[in-house]
A = this chain, B = another copy of it.
């Protein structure tokens, strides 16, 4: 069975497996065996390719982030106006795969891990910054810079908040409802800015 060129295949399989198991159990204290079993290989092989559990986890956050970024890029390409792009950013955050319970659980676990792992925190900060600057860039074309900053902050918070509330599975927040709430927030703020400008 041992075929040459397995490395990239195994690495991907293991990262995907890690995401799956972490999302499923909702914690990073999953074992290497759990992950390896899910990937259909031995725990030893996971160590062989990643060196340590820590490293495998880092690669896993990285992949989560990459997926989000790729989705965003795709959606943004299809949007013409700044206002459309804002909606696109919001929409991506609540897209099917991002909003799946296991994915959210995984994000949550990594947020918690960020308290300890410098590297994990770095990745999550990058995500936060990217979201923020994406929002600001488009908002600036619709209102003054100060407002753009403020609205971006609020929008990002709302997105993250809707995530965490869904993680609890308490309130019946569907993806559509979440998108609507966030989009309304943006609209409401932009209108207010406009009114302000008209008055002047």
Contacts and interface: CB of A to CB of B under 8 A. Distances in A.
Contacts of A157: 157-158, 161-162, 165, 181
B161 A125 contact: no
Contact of A116 (B27, B153, B177): B27
A100 interface: no
Given A26-B115, A111-B167, A153 B181 contact: yes
A25 interface: yes
A162 B164 contact: no
A109 interface: yes
A35 B162 CA distance: 33
Contact of A128 (B150, B160, B170): B170
Contacts of A121: 168-169
**Which secondary structure dominates where chain A touches chain B?**
helix
Contacts of A156: 161, 165, 171
Contacts of A115: 25-27, 105, 108, 167
Interface in A168-200: 168-171, 173, 177, 181, 184-185, 188-189, 192
A121 B163 CA distance: 16
Interface of A: 25-27, 29, 105, 108-109, 111-116, 121, 124-125, 128-129, 132, 150, 153-154, 156-165, 167-171, 173, 177, 181, 184-185, 188-189, 192
